Homo-oligomer: A and B are copies of this chain.
Amino acid sequence: MALAAALRVPARMLLRAGARLPGAALGLTERGDGARRFGSQRVLVEPDAGAGVAVMRLNNPPVNTLSLEFLTELVISLEKLENDKSFRGVILTSDRPGVFSAGLDLTEMCGRSPAHYAEYWKAVQELWLRLYQSSLVVVAAINGACPAGGCLIALTSDHRVLADNPKYSIGLNETLLGIVAPFWFKDTLINTIGHRAAERALQLGLLFPPAQALQVGIVDQVVPEEQVQSMALSAIAQWLAIPDHARQLTKAMMRKATASRLITHRDEDVQNFVSFVSRDSIQKSLQLYLERLKQKKG
A-to-B contact residues, CB < 8 Å: 158-159, 174-181, 183, 186, 190-196, 198-200, 202-205, 217, 220, 238-239, 242-243, 245-247, 249-251, 253-255
Which of A186, A192, A242, A246 has the most chain B CB atoms closer than 10 A to its own CB?
Answer: A246
A231 to chain B, nearest CB (A): 16
Copies in the complex: 3
Q: Across the interface, do B195 and A250 meet the contact criterion of CB distance under 8 Å?
A: no
Q: Identify the closest chain B residue to A175 (Cβ).
A: B246
Which residues of chain B have C-beta atoms less than 8 A from A191's C-beta? Answer: 195-196, 199
Which residues of chain B have C-beta atoms less than 8 A from A194's C-beta? Answer: 194-196
Complex formed: what's the CA distance from A245 to B176 in Å? 11
Which residues of chain B have C-beta atoms less than 8 A from A186's C-beta? Answer: 250, 253-254
A208 to chain B, nearest CB (A): 15
For chain A, what secondary structure do more than half of its interface residues adopt (helix, strand, loop), or is it mixed?
helix
Q: Across the interface, do B183 and A242 meet the contact criterion of CB distance under 8 Å?
A: no
Complex formed: what's the CA distance from A46 to B242 in Å? 41
Which of A159, A178, A200, A250 has the most chain B CB atoms closer than 10 A to its own CB?
Answer: A250
Complex formed: what's the CA distance from A195 to B256 in Å? 13
Which residues of chain B have C-beta atoms less than 8 A from A175's C-beta? Answer: 242-243, 246-247, 250
Which residues of chain B have C-beta atoms less than 8 A from A249's C-beta? Answer: 180
Identify 9 new A-B residue pairs, CB closer than 8 A, beyond the known A158-B203, A186-B253. Answer: A174-B250, A175-B246, A180-B246, A180-B253, A183-B253, A190-B195, A192-B195, A194-B196, A203-B239
Which residues of chain B have C-beta atoms less than 8 A from A180's C-beta? Answer: 246, 249-250, 253
Residue A243 contacts which of B178, B181, B239, B251 (CB distance < 8 angstroms)?
A: B178
Which residues of chain B have C-beta atoms less than 8 A from A250's C-beta? Answer: 174-175, 180-181, 186, 202-203
